[in-house]
Amino acid sequence: MKLRPFHLAIPVSCIDLAKDFYGAKLGFEQGRSNDHWVDYNFFGHQLVCHIGDSVTASNEVDGKEVPIPHFGIVLEWEQFDEFSDLLKASGIRFIIEPYLRFEGLPGEQKTMFFKDPFGNALEFKSFKNDSEIFNK
């Protein structure tokens, strides 16, 4: 099966602030936009910021409160470190700082969580072995 790009629309309260965060700070390439929405190239996927409201909660995972809903992408092992360095240099405030989860176990992964200026939670992760992404 060929992996196809996903489309995700998230709520934001200000298009200009969304452009600053996703475009300037995170470095995502901007696509089409108008006064009510803006498209971004999210590692080959389509992320659309729409004017709207959001609701969040959390669940405990690995001893940390993981925000839900959240979204993100599974990066390459080295790409994770490069991206987390970019985020730190951009002054991103983490909910969960970049760290290694499930070390030495199936599904060993690096992960980090942060929110955009509108309260949308993002998770970026990387598996030591991509073959273990869906392991039980």
CATH number of 58-132: 3.10.180.10
pLDDT at 135: 72
**Domain(s) of CATH 3.30.720.120: residues in the chain:** 8-50
pLDDT tens by residue, 11-29: 999 999 999 999 999 999 9
Helices (H) and strands (E) in the chain, counts: 2, 10
How far apart are the C-alpha atoms of 19 and 38, rounded to whole Å? 8
- Residue given tokens 């099966």 in the structure block: 1
pTM: 0.83
Fold classification of 8-50 is 3.30.720
pLDDT-derived band at 68, boundaries 50, 70, 90: confident
pLDDT tens by residue, 91-114: 999 999 999 998 998 889 999 999
pLDDT at 106: 85
**Domain(s) of CATH 3.10.180.10: residues in the chain:** 58-132
H helix runs in the chain, sequence order: 15-18, 77-89
